[in-house]
A and B are shown apart, each in its own frame.
Chain A
Amino acid sequence: MKVLFPRTSGNSMTGVLLNTAGGITGGDRFDINAHARTDCHLILTTQAAERAYRAQPGETGRVSTRLTVDEGARIDWLPQETLLYDHSALDRQLTIDMADTARFVMCEPVVFGRVAMGETVARGAFRDRVDLYRGGRLLFADRTRLDGQIAETLRGLATAKDCAAMASVLLAAPDADRFLAPAQALMPATGGVSLIRTGLLFARLLATDSFELRRTLQPLIQLLSGDQIPRTWMI
């Protein structure tokens, strides 16, 4: 794993994560740590879609990310799509530890199978955990668990209505409330957004493929993170 820093302006820095291994296979282990100190702004994205390849039985790729955001600081966590191949096994944990006056923007898109090639994730294992602490207290947690016959599970009315792409989008900031109405205006039929509590805005989106998903995500990220959207998210 490498980080490139192509752009710095004022207190803002963009870091582009580059997985030199070209993807994640079963048994891989990645740990990412980033810390934005007081009043700094760090934008993190990835150079390409992250691929979770077919895993050997009993092996699971693990990605653990820890982000720390100090008083008045801000992190935008905007990786490109994570692409799950058929028979992949991926276990991810994202932990955010932010100060009360900090700002955190997250967009985590996941795509099930190489849709353009007609591939689905017939079988696989995907665990995704997000824990966000603000002022030391657990404010938001999300747990996604897809095991076994993933394509079959995703077919349901309550699960994904056969959508092959999904995203979780989060804004934790003192002024998050004012983004609710404009974010609602961007939602497609298969996406929703809610101000769960004051200062905490969460959106869940589904789409037939990553192209459709990006059509919603791009303006949504633009809205939530302002004009400093990483180049990887421009369309």
Chain B
Amino acid sequence: MATGARIPMIMATGMPMPIDPAPLLTLAQWLSPAYPVGAFSYSHGLEWAVEVGEIHDGPSFQAWLEQILIHGAGRTDAILLAEAWRAPDDQSCHDIDDLARALAPSRERALETEQQGQSFARVTADVWSLPLPAYTYPVAVGWAARMLNLPLPETVLLYTHAFAANLTSASIRLVPLGQTEGQTILAALAPLCADLAADVQTLTVEDLGSACMMADVASMKHETQYSRLFQS
């Protein structure tokens, strides 16, 4: 599964940079932890899984994140982002956003995608003067990328990587993991982000589907968790 390197991006060829740096810099800005969407406050149910001891070390966190990227929200969001990017008009993008909202399996997962999307849309609309509605997070990013002609594979790549990096940061705080161990896990799973960026070229809403039922349960249980740092 984790074959990676299927996307021709910047290769270390020693040649002058073959592509326009501006699109990548915009994506790097949007999907950096410094961009004010509040990603740091969402754990996607991880906080509950740590609370009950299911995730208790590096390997258990890595397995959990890998499944979410392959079978869960990592893949689902990548498809929604791509479909928003490909939407032929505003109404089609609205419909994809309706689906993205409807797919939230719990109150906190709805909050996670709606609040980050709203924050992303507000800042991005102001800075780049875009007519960007308060869509859910993947739809807002996909539609904004499309309006600025940013390439789809790189958008999915960095979006997915930001999602994985955010959960890795959460696990470093919660499990806790050492910084080096956390970054080692993120590096090991990075090829999955590349796989998704390649796969979404041919995936549509018809291919949506999750197998991460326990992750959904964790986000539901998190609602009543007594002591918590995260909003999901």
Contact A158 B106 (CB under 8 A): no
Contact B103 A142 (CB under 8 A): yes
**How many A-B pairs fall under 8 Å by CB?**
114
Q: Is A182 an interface residue (CB 8 A)?
A: no
Contact B103 A141 (CB under 8 A): yes
Contact A192 B103 (CB under 8 A): no
Closest Cβ of chain A: how far from B228's Cβ, in Å? 15
Q: Is A233 an interface residue (CB 8 A)?
A: no
Contact A144 B104 (CB under 8 A): no
Residues of chain A within 8 A (CB-CB) of B71 are 145, 153, 156, 158-159
Q: Which residue of B lies closest to A154 (CB)?
A: B211
Say whether chain B's binding surface is mostly helix, strand, loop, or mixed.
helix
Closest Cβ of chain A: how far from B121's Cβ, in Å? 20
Residues of chain B within 8 A (CB-CB) of A140 are 102
Stretch at the interface among B11-19, B60-68, B148-156: B60-68
Closest Cβ of chain A: how far from B63's Cβ, in Å? 6
Residues of chain A within 8 A (CB-CB) of B219 are 192, 194
Q: Is B214 an interface residue (CB 8 A)?
A: yes
Contact B209 A141 (CB under 8 A): no
Contact B106 A194 (CB under 8 A): yes
Contact B214 A142 (CB under 8 A): no
Residues of chain B within 8 A (CB-CB) of A159 are 67, 71, 211-215
Q: How many residues of A contact B (CB 8 A)?
A: 39
Q: Is A219 an interface residue (CB 8 A)?
A: no
Residues of chain B within 8 A (CB-CB) of A143 are 76, 103, 208-210
Known: A139-B102, A156-B63, A157-B54. A196 touches B212 (CB 8 A): no
The 8 A CB mask of A29-41 against B (1 = contact, 0 = none) is: 0000000000000
Q: Is A206 an interface residue (CB 8 A)?
A: yes
Closest Cβ of chain A: how far from B30's Cβ, in Å? 26
Contact A138 B98 (CB under 8 A): yes
Closest Cβ of chain A: how far from B160's Cβ, in Å? 16
Residues of chain B within 8 A (CB-CB) of A146 are 209, 211
Residues of chain B within 8 A (CB-CB) of A166 are 213
The 8 A CB mask of B106-117 against A (1 = contact, 0 = none) is: 111010000000
**Interface members, chain B 74-111 (any A CB < 8 Å):** 76, 98-99, 102-108, 110
Contact B103 A204 (CB under 8 A): no
Say whether chain A's binding surface is mostly helix, strand, loop, or mixed.
strand
Q: Is A160 an interface residue (CB 8 A)?
A: yes
Residues of chain B within 8 A (CB-CB) of A129 are 209
Q: Is A215 an interface residue (CB 8 A)?
A: no
A137, A154, A190: the one contacting B217 at CB < 8 Å is A190
Contact A141 B213 (CB under 8 A): no
Q: Is B216 an interface residue (CB 8 A)?
A: yes
Q: Is A178 an interface residue (CB 8 A)?
A: no
Complex: A206 Cα to B221 Cα, angstroms: 13
B105, B207, B221: the one contacting A196 at CB < 8 Å is B105
Contact B63 A157 (CB under 8 A): yes
Contact A157 B217 (CB under 8 A): no
**Interface members, chain A 185-202 (any B CB < 8 Å):** 187, 189-197, 202
Q: List 12 A-B contacts (CB under 8 A).
A: A129-B209, A142-B105, A144-B211, A145-B71, A146-B209, A153-B71, A156-B67, A157-B63, A157-B64, A196-B107, A204-B105, A204-B220
Question: Which B residues form the contact surface with A (CB < 8 A)?
Answer: 49, 52, 54-55, 60, 63-65, 67-68, 71-72, 76, 98-99, 102-108, 110, 207-221, 223-224
Question: Which A residues form the contact surface with B (CB < 8 A)?
Answer: 127, 129, 131-132, 137-146, 153-154, 156-161, 166, 184, 187, 189-197, 202-206
